[in-house]
Structure 1
Amino acid sequence: MPSDTDAPDGILLVDKPQGITSHTAVSRARRALGTRKVGHAGTLDPMATGLLILGVGPSTRLLTHIVGLDKTYTATIALGATTTTDDAEGDETTTADASHLTRDDLTAPMAALTGEIEQVPSSVSAIKVDGERAYARVRAGEEVELAARPVTVSRFEVLGFRPGVRAEVDVVVDCSSGTYIRALARDLGAALGVGGHLTALRRSRIGPFDVEGAPLADALPDGARALLEPPARAASRILPVALLDDERAANLAHGRRTIALEGERGLVAAVHGDRLVGIARAEGRRLLPVTNFPTGGAS
C-alpha cells in the first residue's frame, strides 16, 4: 500500500458489468489503485449494468454531494407477468396475456408515472424497516409493505416495443435520486392490467457524469490511477466554484469561516489554485466550512 503522501485521490467512473455486485466492483478498484479507501455514490443490483461513481482517498468526502444527483437509465420491461422482486431475478407470481397491447396503449399510463409522483419502493429494496433492510426481511419470509415516497420522473419514454403474449418495452428514464425503476415497471404493468417486471437495467448518467468511456469495473488496468478525476475538477462539475485567495483558503482549511464574496451563494466548491480546499456554504457575508479536504488535489 502507498504511503499517505502518494495515496490516490480523486473520482473514478467505472462501468459495472452484469453479474457482479457493486461491492465486488469496489473491491477490484481497491486492488487496482492500491488503497483500501474507496467508496461509492450509490449501488447497482447484480442484474444491472452501467455507471458507478467511486470516491478514492480524501475524495470519498465528495460522494455525499454526488449521491443525490439525478440519474438516467435505460431499461427493458416485460409486460404479462409480475414477480416477487419486480425484476427477472424473482419468482413469477401472476401471468396474463399481453398480446392485445400496442405501443399507443403505453402513452397514458407512462404519462401518469411521469412528473412528481408518489412511488412505493419494491419490497426487496435496501430501505431499512425497524433497523433491518427490507430485502433481508423478505428473504426471511416476511411480507414487507413500504410507504410511498415522493420522487420525480422527468422523462419516461418508449425506445422500442415488441408485442406478444409477453410484450417487451425498451424505455429511457430521467429521474431523481431514490427512484426505483423496477417499481416503474411494476406500476406500468399494473396500470395496463397485465402486470410487469424489469428484465434489464443500465445506468448511463449521474448528474454531469456519464458512463461513456468509463472502463469496465472488472477489468481496471494497472494504471488506473491515471483515470482518476482530481477532486477540484470533479467538485466544480457539481457545485459552483468559489476561487479563494491565500487568506481565505487558510481559514477554510483550518475549519474557520471566512468572507463570502459577491455572487457566492449556497454550497460551493472552495478552490485555491488547482486544489480543492473543501465544500463550503455561503450565507450572507460568511463562507462557512462544510467538508474540508486537508490534502486537496490538483484539477
Structure 2
Amino acid sequence: MTGSGLILVDKPGGMTSHDVVSRVRRAAGTRKVGHAGTLDPMATGLLILGINSSTRLLTYIVGADKEYLATIRLGAASTTDDAEGDLLAPAAQSDLDAVTEEAIRAGIARLTGEIEQVPSSVSAIKVDGKRAYARVRAGEQVELRPRAVTVSEFELISIRRDTGAIDLDVRVVCSSGTYIRSLARDLGAGLGVGGHLSALRRTRVGAYHVRDAHDLATLDAEAALVPAADAAGRLFERLELTEQQAIDLTHGRRIHIADWEGPGGEPVAAIAPTGTLVGLIEFRGKEARTLVNFPTDEAVGPAGTA
C-alpha cells in the first residue's frame, strides 16, 4: 500500500473531483483518499489529494488562498453561471459594442477586495441539509445568502471581441469559498450585458502550484507521493524532534522546548529523527501539545499491498 502523503493532480476537463479520487484510489491501492477543494467538471488544474493518514492535512489546505486563470464571456448569462448551463437572453450587439475597456476595468475593480458575493444556485452549499445544486435539479427555486469573500487580485489579461460576445481572459487570486462563476455573473450583470464563465483553470492552492502536479492518465502514485513530513513542512514551521520527544508526543505527552521562539497558537510540523511526521503540535509558550497525531508505522510498499 502507498504510504502517507499528498499527490498533486492536474485534473482534466470533463471529470468530477470524485472521479479523480476514484482513479487515485486504484493507483495508490488504498481507499483512504480525499481531496482539498472540489473542482467543477468543466474546470481543469490543481487538485490536491491526501493519501492515508495525510487526509488529516487536507483540513489545513482547504482554507488556503487560491489562484485561477479563467475566461469570462460577456453577452449572456446562464442558468448555472457557467458554460454548462442554458444560456439566457443574449445581449444586443449594440449594447456589447458600447462596453468599453474602461467600463470592464471599472467593473473588475468593483469586484476586487473584500466583497459580498452570492454563490451560484448550483453550488455544493447545503440548504436545509441538501446540496443547492440537487434542489435546483429537482426544480426548486434556490436563493443563497451573500457571504463575505476576499478577491485580492483580479487581473484583466486580454479582451477578445466577436459577434455576440466579448471574451475576457483573467487571473484571480481569492480566498477559499470564492466562486469564480459568480464573479463572471456579477461582472456581466454590472455591465448590463450578462456574463458567464466559459473556462476555468486552478493554478495554485496555498503553497502548491499546478506546475508540480501530475497527469492523471500517466500517474505513478508511488513516484508522485509527497511524503507527509515534506507536505507538512511546506504548510507549517518544522520542529526537528529528539527521539525521546518523538516518543512523548506519540504517547500523547506534552513536550518542553526551552529555546523555542516560534509563534504560539499556530500548528507546527513535528518531525522525528527518522524523518517521519509525528504530528502537528501547538505551542503555548515553551510547551507544546499535540493537535493531530500521525501513525509512525505506515509502510510504503507497492500499490495494492499492505
TM bin (shorter chain): over 0.9
Quote the residue 1:176 is aligned against: 175
Distance in 1 between residues matched to 2:261 and 2:107, nearest whole Å: 43
Distance in 1 between residues matched to 2:229 and 2:9, nearest whole Å: 19
1:99 deviation in Å? 2.5
2:248 partner letter: N
2:114 partner letter: E
Quote the residue 1:263 is aligned against: 261
After superposition, the Cα gap between the structure-2 partners of 1:56 and 1:104, relative to the gap in structure 1 and judged at 3 Å, is same
Quote the residue 1:159 is aligned against: 157
Residue 108 of structure 2 aligns to a residue whose secondary structure is helix
Residue 282 of structure 2 aligns to a residue whose secondary structure is strand
Quote the residue 1:59 is aligned against: 54
Residue 235 of structure 1 aligns to a residue whose secondary structure is helix
Distance in 1 between residues matched to 2:113 and 2:56, nearest whole Å: 31
1:112 deviation in Å? 1.1
Distance in 1 between residues matched to 2:182 and 2:80, nearest whole Å: 10
- Assess if the C-alpha contact under 8 Å between 1:9 and 1:59 holds in 2: yes
1:17 partner letter: P
Runs (4+) off by over 6 Å:
none
Q: Does 1:12 align with 2:7?
A: yes
Q: Does 1:33 align with 2:48?
A: no
CA RMSD, 1 decimal: 1.6
Distance in 2 between residues matched to 1:139 and 1:51, nearest whole Å: 28
Quote the residue 2:197 is aligned against: 198
1:272 partner letter: A
Which structure 2 segments of 5+ residues have no match?
A: 300-306
Quote the residue 1:112 is aligned against: 110
- Assess if the C-alpha contact under 8 Å between 1:153 and 1:174 holds in 2: yes
1:104 deviation in Å? 2.2
Quote the residue 2:304 is aligned against: none
- Assess if the C-alpha contact under 8 Å between 1:99 and 1:167 holds in 2: no
Once the two structures are superposed, residues 189-216 of structure 1 have per-residue CA deviations (whole angstroms, 9 ceiling, x without a partner) of 1111111100000001001111114222
Quote the residue 1:285 is aligned against: 286
| Matched ranges for 1:112-261 at <5 A | 112-164=110-162, 165-217=164-216, 219-221=217-219, 223-260=220-257, 261=259
Normalising by structure 2, we get a TM-score of: 0.91
1:263 deviation in Å? 1.6
Which protein has greater RCO, CA pairs closer than 8 Å, 6+ apart? 2
1:295 deviation in Å? 2.1
1:203 partner letter: R
1:157 deviation in Å? 0.8
Distance in 1 between residues matched to 2:254 and 2:75, nearest whole Å: 59
Distance in 2 between residues matched to 1:61 and 1:52, nearest whole Å: 16
1:256 deviation in Å? 2.2
Distance in 2 between residues matched to 1:254 and 1:63, nearest whole Å: 23
Distance in 2 between residues matched to 1:196 and 1:145, nearest whole Å: 19
Distance in 2 between residues matched to 1:275 and 1:67, nearest whole Å: 23
1:38 deviation in Å? 1.0
Distance in 2 between residues matched to 1:87 and 1:56, nearest whole Å: 31
- Assess if the C-alpha contact under 8 Å between 1:85 and 1:124 holds in 2: yes
- Assess if the C-alpha contact under 8 Å between 2:255 and 2:288 holds in 1: yes
Normalising by structure 1, we get a TM-score of: 0.93
Distance in 2 between residues matched to 1:296 and 1:180, nearest whole Å: 40
1:99 partner letter: D
Residue 252 of structure 1 aligns to a residue whose secondary structure is helix
Once the two structures are superposed, residues 83-142 of structure 1 have per-residue CA deviations (whole angstroms, 9 ceiling, x without a partner) of 110001111223213232232221111111111111111111000010000100111111
- Assess if the C-alpha contact under 8 Å between 2:3 and 2:298 holds in 1: no
